[in-house]
Amino acid sequence: MNEPHAHNALTASRTFRESIITEESVYGTILVSGMIVAAGSHDATLMETFLTVVGTVVVFWAAHVYAGTVAGHGVVEGDQTTLPTAFRRSIRRSIGFLLSAVPPSAVLLLGALRVVPDQFALWAALWLGVIILGVLGYSAFALRGSPWRYRVLGCIGTASFGVAMILLKAFIH
């Protein structure tokens, strides 16, 4: 067995997980849920909701990458951080923001294309957000080696933001 290759694979896997399990991933998921709730309160079609969610996520993500690049440029970390390095770090750090929005957006698109009923798509996208938040919360504690009870509490705590969005939607309607 090639141990350096196995070590590189483990390092790459951990780096990927650390890029996905971020506060940006949590924000992205909550943003999508909030957009679904807001669009539903304005009687938007599912296609309008889908396009609004995707457009908003892309604009917020781009703003986040820009802000991260500007904030990271010139920071001393052994030497001055160049603009391209700050940009790459910001992209890597914020990729979870985009990826966390994909599953709920895909469900909305299925509804917009009439593959599934509208109400099913809306509620499924919201509950999918709860699941994603729960996985992010659990994984954040697992990645840091926390005991299982803290992992479960992290799961519940993070998922509760998605549940809050569902309660908000139920209250609005």
Q: Which residue has the tokens 């009870």?
A: 149
Answer whether residue 18 is part of any domain: no
Answer whether residue 16 is part of any domain: no
Answer whether residue 126 is part of any domain: yes
What pLDDT sits at residue 7?
61
What pLDDT sits at residue 9?
61
Pure H helices in the chain: 3-20, 23-41, 46-72, 83-99, 102-112, 118-143, 148-172
What pLDDT sits at residue 12?
60
| Residue 46 lies in domain | 23-172
In the chain (173 residues long), the average pLDDT of successive 10-residue segments reads 59 69 92 89 87 94 94 74 90 91 96 96 96 96 95 97 92 78
pLDDT digits (tens, 9 = 90+) for 79-114: 678 889 899 989 988 999 999 999 999 999 999 999
Answer whether residue 43 is part of any domain: yes
What pLDDT sits at residue 2?
52
pTM for the predicted model, two decimal places? 0.85
Total domains present in the chain:
1
* Listed residue (108, 100, 120, 80) closest to 31, CA to CA: 100
Residues 66, 93: Cα–Cα separation, whole Å: 12
Residues 115, 131: Cα–Cα separation, whole Å: 22
Answer whether residue 2 is part of any domain: no
What pLDDT sits at residue 164?
96
Contacts of 66-69 spanning 24+ positions with Cβ under 8 A:
66/90, 68/93, 68/94
Answer whether residue 100 is part of any domain: yes
Answer whether residue 13 is part of any domain: no
Answer whether residue 97 is part of any domain: yes
Backbone angles phi, psi at 99, to 5 degrees: -65, -35
